[in-house]
Amino acid sequence: MPGMDIRGGLLSAYELSKDLVFLEKAQELGNALLPSFDSPTGLPYNWWNLTWGINKKSHELSGPPCPSMGQCGSKTGILAQLGTMQLEFMKLSQLTGDTNVSFGPLGDSFYEVRMHQYISDLILPRLDIESVESMRKYLIKEGKVRNRSELLFLGELFNDIFSGKMCHLACFVPGMLAIGAKILDRPEDLEIAIKLAETCYWSYNVTLTGLGPEEFWFITSTDELSQSEIDWLEKQEEVNNLPNGLVRISPTYLLRPETLESLFILYRITGDKKYQERGWKIWQAIEKWCKMPTAYSGLKDVNTKQVEMNNIMER
């Protein structure tokens, strides 16, 4: 649901500026989204047309049209979206004190979920630790990047088969681990967070624009390579400006915030000013390559001298 990013931005803008116009617009958008909770599960539909009223039922039959990205229909749910909406509605209720936002039509399911979350708080630390332990065991691998053997990568697992692909979206993990390390007193998780953040920043630092790719595929330290594969990697490094140890990249840049967010969190937790400096360096690259007269644009390719904007402000 695209509105969740907009609502979070409005709430943040209000807290920074104390300008009531941002809070009013956030509340207006929140009220418009409340009917999306009118589903069989009580969880919000993935896509919602703000022109539909509370009593509009046509979406239950046909669903709103799929967006161009092709993610399909109103009856799907995205875990990240559900968590974000819960956090934003909670903040909106705290700031406004308006029970219409919280307990208005179809808002009861939201508060039911919140009550279950409150009850679950006793077991959440255990679940968090189990998730992190599984991630460390199955998804985090040392790479085989020339002269950077210390880099850790976060891959993917499909049907018990490991895939050496790391997405920019995964760069929220260092910040998440750092916060968890502090709250749950797990210093070993902070060490992993620092190493993963190093990889995320490195993915920016090795491109021609200084901005990170959407995805990159890597070789792990345990991968056995034939001589022909070694030769191919050497050629990639020479022809495509890819560090030896990366197979390929998806070169688009979509103005994603995850790496900057993790750098900010690590600065706050460790006090190491290098994270400030790295965040500033990334911001300078955004200003140089993405700034337009009225907004910021993503890039089609972060690793070329012929930089071209995609004219999309996705995030």
Into how many domains does the chain fold? 2
Locate 232 and state its tokens: 């191919």
In order of 29, 45, 46, 269, 280, the CA distances from 2 in angstroms are 11, 12, 9, 30, 28
> Cβ contacts of residue 216 below 8 Å, gap of 6+?
165, 166, 203, 246, 248, 249, 250
70/146 same-domain check: no
Instruction: Count Cβ atoms below 10 Å from residue 260 Cβ, excluding itself.
Output: 21
Task: Read off the CATH number of the domain in which 138 is found.
Answer: 1.50.10.10
- Could you tell me if 76 and 63 lie in one domain? yes
Per-residue model confidence (pLDDT) at position 77: 64
Q: Is residue 281 part of a domain?
A: yes
User: For the chain, how big is the Rg over CA atoms in Å?
Assistant: 22
* Same domain, residue pair 185 and 267: yes
CB–CB of 214/167 below 8 Å? yes
- For residues 110 and 134, state if they share a domain: no
Residue 311 lies in a domain: no
Q: Which two tokens stand for residue 248?
A: 């390929």
* C-alpha–C-alpha distance, residues 91 and 114, integer Å: 13
Q: Are residues 240 and 285 in the same domain?
A: yes
CA distance 217 to 250: 9
As given in the structure block, the two tokens for residue 241 are: 């400006």
Residue 105, SS3 per DSSP: coil
Q: Pick from 94, 120, 146: which residue ends a domain?
A: 120
pTM of the model: 0.72
Handedness of CA 203, 209, 210, 211 (dihedral sign): negative
Give the CA distances from residue 243 to residues 8, 200, 206, 232, in Å, rounded to whole numbers and listed in that order.
36, 14, 7, 12
- Specify the long-range contacts of residues 85-91, CB closer than 8 Å, at least 24 apart: 85/1, 85/4, 85/33, 85/44, 86/110, 86/113, 86/114, 86/117, 88/4, 88/7, 88/8, 88/11, 88/30, 89/30, 90/114, 91/11
**Per residue in 148-184, pLDDT tens?**
989 999 999 888 888 899 999 999 999 999 998 998 8
In the chain, the N- to C-terminal Cα span, in Å, equals 12
Please check whether residues 133 and 212 belong to one and the same domain.
yes
Beta bridge partners of 275: none
> Considering the domain boundaries, does residue 300 fall inside one?
no
Which of the listed residues 96, 120, 144 is the one where a domain comes to its end?
120
- Pair (201, 278) in one structural domain: yes
Amino acid identity at 20: L
Dihedral over alpha carbons 177, 179, 184, 189 (to 10 degrees): 30
Q: Is residue 315 part of a domain?
A: no
Pick from 198, 191, 36, 162: which is nearest to 110 by CA?
Answer: 36
Last residue of a domain, one of 70, 91, 120: 120
Same domain? 99 vs 197: no
- Measured CA to CA, the distance from residue 276 to residue 264 in angstroms comes to 7
- Distant-in-sequence, close-in-space partners of 90: CB < 8 Å, separation ≥ 6: 114
Residue 233 lies in a domain: yes
Has residue 104 been placed in a domain?
Answer: yes
- 18 and 50 co-located in one domain: yes
Same domain, 111 and 70: yes
Query: Do 108 and 256 share a domain, yes or no?
Result: no
Domain assignment of residue 203, given as a range: 124-290
309, part of any domain:
no
> Domain check: are 270 and 240 in the same one?
yes
Residues (pLDDT < 50) of the chain are: 1-2, 54-73, 103-116, 118-119
Distance of CA 128 to the CA centre of its chain: 18
pLDDT at 127: 63
User: Is 234 domain-assigned?
Assistant: yes
pLDDT at 79: 65
